[in-house]
Amino acid sequence: MIEDFECLRVDGDVVHSAACPVIEEVPLSIFINGRHFTTAMISPQMRREFVAGHLYSERIVSQVQEIESLEVEGDVARVIVTNPIRAVVPRRPIVSGCGGIASFLDEARLPRIRSGLTIGMEQAREAMEAISLSKTHIATGGVHSVGLFDRSGPLTIVEDIGRHNALDKAIGIQILKGEGFDFGRMFAACTGRVSSDMALKCSVAGIPIVVSRGATTGLAISIAQRTGLGIIGFLRGKRLTVYSNPERFEIG
C-alpha cells in the first residue's frame, strides 16, 4: 500500500534527498456479467470488499445473495449478478477525489432510513479518535479512514485514498459476512468531508448517522433531510456541528 520514492526535502536553507513514503493508487475495472461497469482508482488492498460494497451502495445489488460470483485478478474484477439490468446505466470513472453517481441523482427515489439509533458526544469522539490512529496516514498523509461503529465500539476500520472508496470497503466487509449484520445499528465515522456521495451511500445502506471531523455540502444535507441521515461535522475536541436530523444526537 506504500511505495518509497526519491524526493527532495527542503527545510529553509537545508535541502537533502530522501526516500519518501507515498500511498499507492491503482485502477480496478469492474465487469458485471461480462460488461464493463466502471473503473475505480483505489488503494490496492481489499479489492473484493470494495467491489461488493460499491455494488451494494450503488444499488446494483440489494443483498449479498444477488452476487453469484466475484473474482478479482490484478486490476480486473469480474462479477456475476442475478439482476444485471440495474448495471446498464453508464458510469463515469471513479477517481480518488469524487464518488460514484451523484450527478445522476434522482431525489424522488431516495431511500428512507428506518432506524432509531442515536449517539452522544462520547461515542462520536471515541469513533473519531479510533479512525485517526492510521499508521499509513501518519507515514504518508495520503489516505482517508472510515469506520463503522455501534454504540459499544468499532466494528470495521479501513483506509483508502478516497473516503467514498473506504466507505464502500467498510460496507463490503459487512455484507460479505452474509447474515447477521444490521446497518441500522451502526454509524459511520470518516476523516474527510461528507459529500453527496457519502450521504447517498450511507442512506442506501441504511446507516443512520455519519460523523466527520470535516465539513459537509449542501446537497449532502438535502439528501440527509430526505432520508433520515444524521450528519455530524467538524468534530474537534468537545465541539461539533449537527447538520441534519438533530434528534439523532444526544445532548448532555
Q: Among all residues, which ones are annotated catalytic?
A: 98
**Among 22, 38, 24, residue whose Cα is nearest residue 98:** 38
In angstroms, the Cα distances linking 211 to 51, 106, 125, 193, 251 are 24, 24, 9, 9, 15
Report the 3 state secondary structure along the chain: CEEEEEEEEEECCEEEEEEEEEECCEEEEEEECCEEEEEEEECCCCHHHHHHHHHHHCCCCCCHHHEEEEEEECCEEEEEECCHHHHCCCCCCECCCCCCCHHHCCHHHCCCCCCCCCEEHHHHHHHHHHHCCCHHHHHHCCCEEEEEEECCEEEEEEEECCHHHHHHHHHHHHHCCCCCCCHHHCEEEECCCECHHHHHHHHHHCCCEEEECCCECHHHHHHHHHHCCEEEEEEECCEEEECCCHHHEECC
Rounded to whole angstroms, the Cα distance separating 73 from 109 reads: 35
Give dist(CA 52, CA 63) in Å, integer.
10
